[in-house]
Amino acid sequence: MGIAFRKVWRDMRNNLGRTALVVASIAIGVLALGLIVSGRTLMARQMMVSQAESHPTTLRLSVGPAIDDATLRMIRRQPGVEGARGVIFSGIRWKPSLEAAWTDATLTAIDDYTDQTYDLITLREGGWPATGRVAIEHSHVAPYAVPPVGGTLFFEVNGRAKPMTLAGVVRDPREIGPPFTSQPTFYVTRNTLVSLGLSDRFNSLQVAVADFSQERAEAVQHQLTDRLETLGVGVNDSEITAPDRHFLQDVMDGVTMILTVMALLSLGMSTILVINTINAILAQQVPQIGIMKTIGGLRGQITGLYLAGVIIYGLLSLMLAMPIGAFGGWALARWLMALINVTVSDFEVLPSTLGIQFVTGLVVPVLAAFWPIVQGSAISVREAVSQYGLGTGNYGSRWIDRVLARVQGLPRTWSMALRNTFRRMSRAALTEVTLIGAGVIFMMVISAQHSFETTLATIFRGFGYDVILGFSTWQRIDRVTPLLEAQPNVDRVELWQFANAQTRLPDDPDTVADRELLVRGIPRDTQLFTPELTAGRPLLPEDDRALLLNQDLAGEMGVGIGQRIQLDFGDGTAQEWTVVGLIYDLAGRGRTAYLYRDTLARDLGFVGRGSVAEIRLQTNSLEAQLAAEAQLREALEDQGISVSFTRTQLLTREEAGAQFSILTSLLLIMTGLIGLVGAIGLSGTLSINVLERRREIGVMRAVGASSLDIGVVFMGEGLLLGVASWLASVPLAVVAGQWFVSNLNETIDFNGAYYFAEHSVWIWLGIVVSLSLLASWLPARRAAAISVRESLAYE
Amino acid sequence: MTQPDLVHVDTVRKNYAGPAGEVTVLKGVSLHVRAGEFVGVRGPSGSGKSTLINMITGIDRPTSGAITIAGTRIDQMSENTLARYRGLKIGVIFQFFQLLPTLTVLENTMLPMEFCRVWKPRERGERAYMLLEQVGLTDQAHKLPNTLSGGQQQRAAIARALANDPPLLVGDEPTGNLDSRTADRVFQLFADLVAQGKTFIMVTHDNELAARIPRVIQVQDGVLLEGQEHHVSERATGPLHLGPNGHSAVTDLHLNGRAEHVPQTAAQ
Ligand SMILES: Nc1ncnc2c1ncn2[C@@H]1O[C@H](COP(=O)(O)OP(=O)(O)O)[C@@H](O)[C@H]1O
Ligand SMILES: [Mg+2]
């Protein structure tokens, strides 16, 4: 293939722009594939490694009242229990310096940091906590401006600032940083807890189930719950996770799904681009193919020649796509894993990914180009060498040409743009497919984001509070309400009752496990609770033992509207309540029920008291909410009312949306990539059109067309293609968005609704118009620069 | 006389599908060309000269009739067989030179040898160089075609046509795109090749050149007229002399005077 091959090589070198176009088209698909495959591989591996290295427990119980060491030892001896660790979680207020304001922090303590068996907390820097010395989770250092190791920070003890030394930085496999969490976690010894005036009894149990299976874990869960109950210890919350499943696996599955869709789409679109460009190149090469056939070239030789060219394109694009893909995949994995506190080691090249890229980078373009090349090389010599004069000789023979010829009243240049657009039907069609694809993805992505946001907004609209304060002990409503109402900027105060209950179906009280239920008792005249109902009706004034149940839990329990469930508030007597409505609720990990406070109060024996204050403010902003949070807390504590937790609506909402933020960032990257493919496609089509119509442009020039006229012909064509694709993509996006959002929701186990983002339609129109003008500007300018002599010269 | 014809066109018809139904461009023409002959083809624009030439080179196929080149029927060959056969036996020279733009003159000349795998790869360059020497282009061997003048490009195209040493050379208005002085030099090259034993069939519009071709065929209304006598495809009576004073060339000149009155249309 000596000389013929030289021809192929030089054709590429002489058309650097076009070569770059093909190489970029292939590279984008192969790059996306490599990035995603290596990212996925690294993430899956690292999550598994990290999970295994931490020696994960599989059952977690949150208990109250807290238990002592003897009870823990008893738990360890239970059948089916391989081992157990007691943990103490506690809340405290801290600040990094004396001048700073108090904010919430979590304290975590275990018995012995130097002798751990499960959920291993590892030391990253400095030393382990000791009396008066604390450690911090490493992913919380930067976000919360924690002082460096050896520095001093302050805990609030009895209203005073108690200095503590930061002994070290640790990694806790069960912790993650913002945006999933909103306060830092400090690690202390049990002694330190006592010195802070806190309990050193365990309020959480982390249990390793021997020979894990879901059934065995559930059996152990019931057995331990029963055993603890005989000791008067309630289980407030319990959770089972498979040892090989990271606790954020759902989110990561969503990420993987998006990445896969992304890889396939990019690959598909880049294939289309390759087909389009190769087609155009061959169209230009037709006379040369004819000449080669005339001087003895066989069809096979010519096919081989152009396929060799395609392989060169493939190799060139691999030179781009392989390194960037490998590095990008690693960076992606590192970024995503850092969000969930999993370490990704130093950059490494995954040979398997490179292999996949290599094969794809060669096979996809060859497959894409194969048919065009076989077709192109089949052209008869007579056809090939008799192409002279203007056009391809058959313009006007198709119906579309005749229809377009009847379009009257447009300026000459515009009607030329219109007719030219449809001259190369299949090329225009493929470009449209690319652009429509880009549009659909864009609107789909924005709609996914919009759906998440709207779902969250709908949920939060149902909860009218701006600030919530929880009390450590039950408070009298008639005392606390006026106290809070007297504070500035407070619009409304409602005292609610939060309580935990065990729930079961009345007909089979023993078989299925009791479920934890977080019960919220609301005032009958509430204005801060108008949730979105997914079924049934709201609570009505005449209701007695009626409740609204979280729809996820209802689904899990198999309970419908009008059915009864039993609630046991820990006193051993179960009452039956009727489910009247189902609601969306993100709070309490989907285990909430809402009912009337006075009815609940009767069952609990706390008539006239509340445990949580829900407050609506007059003026509302994040600053106002934060200010009110601090000020109301102070007002309560001044009256000797201890506050166990506070919450602001805006921060809670942000936290709830955090898991989506990973997804939406990824989605945006995806959109950018796809938009790029679309732009390359459009620009490619138009510049190929310019090349093909050089002669025609020369004739237009010769008969007096200005550069502007020629520019309009080409920019008009670009604009037409862009706007047409926009029209086609809107209905497709509505449908595709629905599919995408429901799949995404299923993957991340989120019960969100689908809302099509109408604004995305107009944004995309803006983008596609700018893109079209931009992509056609260069070709148009090149067209306008063609001189008469140059364009009429024969090659 | 016992020597077989190199080119044998036997009652060839060629129809084209036109907008108003079938158009017969060649109405059953016959033509015999013996090895070593120099044949000119003339006729008004659109008379079917190119069609006839395309039949001979196998670029196009007849509707009916037979084409035999060096004893081999080419009208029924498959595309591939024909391409290879053409590459070996026929050198085609185009009006617009048709050199591959990204290959140098030398490389263009070597390409047919490579396609047809004749000569050993090492010998190909040497041979191409020799051919370029023959057409007087050795100093341009490493230049790209579009840096050459029209005459130089056509000489390069001739060298390429000679690459595989084909017995037959065919040109469709090979001097049509050259000024008269250049055309004259290129024509002389053709005459030299014929003198060396090549058979050459060329279409030309140029009266002066036509006058120098020993045997001229006139294409008119789909039939072939040989010289003055309006014989259709009569076998020539012997090798004609080269040069402007040949008998049939003179009569042909006369004929051509009429042909020139036919208005020229845009296409060639
Ligand atoms: N591929 C084709 N399809 C239809 N008609 C053709 C085709 N090629 C040539 N013709 C017609 O055949 C006639 C002869 O053409 P051609 O051989 O090119 O003439 P010449 O070379 O003598 O000028 C012309 O009328 C031309 O229009
Ligand atoms: Mg012609």
pLDDT tens digits, B151-168: 899 889 999 999 999 999
Interface check for A781 against chain B (CB to CB < 8 A): the answer is: no
Q: Give Cα separations from B21 to A402, A568, B16, B17, B228 (angstroms).
A: 21, 95, 8, 6, 33
- Cα–Cα distance, A506 to B24 (Å, whole number): 97
Predicted confidence (pLDDT) at residue A708 exceeds the cutoff of 60: yes
Interface check for B114 against chain A (CB to CB < 8 A): the answer is: yes
**How big is chain B, counted in residues?**
268
Predicted confidence (pLDDT) at residue B208 exceeds the cutoff of 90: no
Per-residue pLDDT, averaged over A11-17, amounts to: 82
Per-residue pLDDT, averaged over A413-426, amounts to: 67
**How big is chain A, counted in residues?**
795
Interface check for A374 against chain B (CB to CB < 8 A): the answer is: no
Per-residue pLDDT, averaged over A215-228, amounts to: 91
Peptide bond into A65 cis (omega under 30): yes
Predicted confidence (pLDDT) at residue A387 exceeds the cutoff of 50: no
The model's confidence at residue A391, banded by pLDDT at 50, 70 and 90, is very low
Closest CA to A421 of A201, A686, A133, A743: A686
Any atom of ligand 1 within 6 Å of the Cβ of B63: no
- A165-188 pLDDT, tens digit per residue, is 999 999 999 898 877 778 899 999
The model's confidence at residue A403, banded by pLDDT at 50, 70 and 90, is low
- Cα–Cα distance, B220 to B45 (Å, whole number): 10
Calculate how close chain B gets to A7, using CA atoms only, in Å: 6
The model's confidence at residue A87, banded by pLDDT at 50, 70 and 90, is very high
DSSP A264-299: HHHHHHHHHHHHHHHHHHHHHHHHHHHHHHHTT--H
Q: Whose CA is nearest to atom 1 of ligand 1?
A: B16
- Pocket test of ligand 1: the residue of A382, A386, A392, A397 to mutate, having most ligand atoms within 8 Å of its CB, is A386
- A122-153 pLDDT, tens digit per residue, is 999 999 999 889 999 999 999 899 999 999 99
ipTM reported for the complex surpasses 0.85: no
**What is residue A588's predicted lDDT score, i.e. its pLDDT?**
63
Closest CA to A309 of A388, A354, A376: A376
Q: Whose CA is nearest to atom 2 of ligand 1?
A: B16
Cβ(B99)–Cβ(B157) below 8 Å: yes
If DSSP codes are grouped into helix, strand and coil, which group holds residue B128? helix
Q: Say whether B100 and A291 touch across the interface (CB within 8 A).
A: yes
Query: How remote is the CA of residue B24 from the centroid of ligand 1, in Å?
Result: 10
| Residues of chain A found within 8 Å of residue B115, distances taken between Cβ atoms | 4, 292, 295-298, 301
Query: How remote is the CA of residue A202 from the centroid of ligand 1, in Å?
Result: 99
Predicted confidence (pLDDT) at residue A390 exceeds the cutoff of 60: no
- From the list B57, B115, B266, the residue facing A301 with the nearest CB is B115
Q: Say whether A389 and B86 touch across the interface (CB within 8 A).
A: no
Calculate how close chain B gets to A383, using CA atoms only, in Å: 9
Considering Cα of A29, then A34, then A36, then A37, what sign does the dihedral take?
Answer: positive
CB neighbour list of residue A344: distance below 8 Å, 6 or more residues apart? A42, A43, A46, A330, A333, A334, A337, A338
Calculate how close chain B gets to A702, using CA atoms only, in Å: 17
Average pLDDT, chain A: 84
**What is residue A413's predicted lDDT score, i.e. its pLDDT?**
65
List of E strands, chain B: 5-18, 21-34, 38-42, 64-69, 72-73, 90-93, 168-172, 199-203, 215-220, 223-226
- B70-123 pLDDT, tens digit per residue, is 888 998 888 888 888 888 999 999 888 888 888 889 999 999 998 888 888 888
Closest CA to A696 of A779, A778, A792: A792
**What is residue A107's predicted lDDT score, i.e. its pLDDT?**
95
Any atom of ligand 1 within 6 Å of the Cβ of B51: yes
What percentage of chain A has pLDDT greater than the value 90?
31
- A588-626 pLDDT, tens digit per residue, is 667 889 999 988 888 888 888 999 999 999 988 888 998
- Cα–Cα distance, A600 to A609 (Å, whole number): 11
Q: How many CB atoms lie within 10 A of CB A473?
A: 9
The model's confidence at residue B234, banded by pLDDT at 50, 70 and 90, is very low
Write out residues 129-148 of B within 8 Å (CB-CB) of A: 146
The model's confidence at residue A312, banded by pLDDT at 50, 70 and 90, is very high
B5-264 CATH pick, 3.40.50.300, 1.10.287.130, 3.40.50.720, 1.10.260.30: 3.40.50.300
Q: Whose CA is nearest to atom 14 of ligand 1?
A: B48
Residue of A nearest to B90 (CA): A295
* Helix, strand, coil distribution of chain A in percent, nearest 5: 55, 20, 25
Residue B193, both tokens: 């090749």
Per-residue pLDDT, averaged over A494-520, amounts to: 76
Average pLDDT, chain B: 80
Residue of A nearest to B61 (CA): A382
- Cα–Cα distance, B143 to B154 (Å, whole number): 14
Per-residue pLDDT, averaged over B16-45, amounts to: 87
Interface check for B186 against chain A (CB to CB < 8 A): the answer is: no
Closest CA to A67 of A214, A204, A185: A204
Q: What Rg, from alpha-carbon coordinates, does chain B have?
A: 18
> A60 pairs with which residues across the strands?
A206, A239
Interface check for A299 against chain B (CB to CB < 8 A): the answer is: yes
Interface check for A388 against chain B (CB to CB < 8 A): the answer is: yes
Residue A689, both tokens: 């059109």
Predicted confidence (pLDDT) at residue B262 exceeds the cutoff of 50: no
Q: Which atom of ligand 1 is nearest to the CA of B18?
A: 4
Any atom of ligand 1 within 6 Å of the Cβ of B47: yes
**What is residue A425's predicted lDDT score, i.e. its pLDDT?**
72
| Range from A141-145, B222-226, B263-267 carrying the lowest mean pLDDT | B263-267
Considering Cα of A344, then A346, then A349, then A350, what sign does the dihedral take?
Answer: negative
Calculate how close chain A gets to B201, using CA atoms only, in Å: 16
- Cα–Cα distance, A756 to A447 (Å, whole number): 5
- Pocket test of ligand 1: the residue of B14, B47, B265 to mutate, having most ligand atoms within 8 Å of its CB, is B47
- Cα–Cα distance, A46 to A338 (Å, whole number): 11
- Cα–Cα distance, A61 to A221 (Å, whole number): 8
What are the boundaries of each domain within chain A?
Answer: 1-50+250-387, 59-240, 389-461+656-795, 467-619
Query: How remote is the CA of residue B49 from the centroid of ligand 1, in Å?
Result: 8
Q: What is the DSSP letter of A571?
A: S
Interface check for A39 against chain B (CB to CB < 8 A): the answer is: no
Query: How remote is the CA of residue B173 from the centroid of ligand 1, in Å?
Result: 15
